[in-house]
Amino acid sequence: MKKIFIFPLLVFIDLISKYFILNYIDLYQFIKITYFFDITHIHNFGVSFGLFSGTIPSLVLILIGLVVTVFVIYLYVNSSDVLERWGLFIIICGAIANIIDRSINGYVIDFLYFHINQLYWPAFNFADIYISIGIIMIIVNMVKKINKS
């Protein structure tokens, strides 16, 4: 029952943050928050880290995202492990948020930008964080199961 409230909340947080970035920060503008973290406005036309940017049409990426999301939903429905289900659920939230963003704009808005000296991590968004946390939860769960056996 909690998830019926958490899903729209997580998707809303992602989409509203992207709305503010899109409307209040110029494209490629960087706002320094700390010496290692900036808020920026980047349009990601590719997949993770901008891979395949400009080579795969947006509609194809949306369709691939939907197919993968349906598969993750299938895994979620058929999982009986609590931690695995939460991990899959959070992945679904992030995937849906990015699919909505790409469907509206034709790209995904990335805006969280970490760097140390001349080392830069590609910009990302809250949906990407959700997906990463979900994957980490599933990996931790798998390691715990392996260690038990």
Active site (catalytic) residues: 110, 128
For residues 52 and 64, the answer to whether their CB atoms sit within 8 Å is no
For 80, the enclosing helix (H) or strand (E) is none
Dihedral angle of Cα 98, 101, 107, 111, to the nearest 10 degrees: -80
* 48-to-109, 147, 149 alpha-carbon distances in Å: 12, 31, 34
Rounded CA separation 108/112 (Å):
13
